Copies of this chain bind each other. A is one copy, B any other.
């Protein structure tokens, strides 16, 4: 479980953290019940502000992926196949997926090729 950040990247730092943790949950590096580093611990390790880590954790909480306890810290709350996604979650995801796939298609990637890439990326998660 190695987290890194690019302070001057295109995405805000808190989202970089959120994304990496989502991927870690997907590929099994993090399992339901696993504890995440404390905010101040992670902030110190990465040389960033504690509030930034906090914001990342809060986003994950509002997505239902982690639970934030006063004493337990941040704990992974949901893993693959743990609980089916809600309708709102699903509609929002589909909207983003449509945009992403449209971009690929509009920019010249052939649909079978796009689908194959999606399959390969998903395989990264299931195989581990």
**A interface vs B, CB < 8 Å?**
7-9, 12-13, 19, 22-23, 25-27, 62-65, 67-72, 75, 78-90, 93-94, 96-111, 114-115, 117-119, 121-126
Contact = CB atoms under 8 A, between A and B. Distances in A.
A80 to B, nearest CB: 5
A81 B112 CA distance: 12
A80 B111 CA distance: 10
Listed from nearest, the 4 A-B pairs whose CB atoms lie closest are A26-B102, A8-B69, A25-B106, A23-B102
Contact of A94 (B79, B82, B106, B121): B121
Nearest to A90: B109
Contact of A86 (B88, B111, B114): B88
A121 B101 contact: yes
A27 B71 CA distance: 32
A89 B108 CA distance: 11
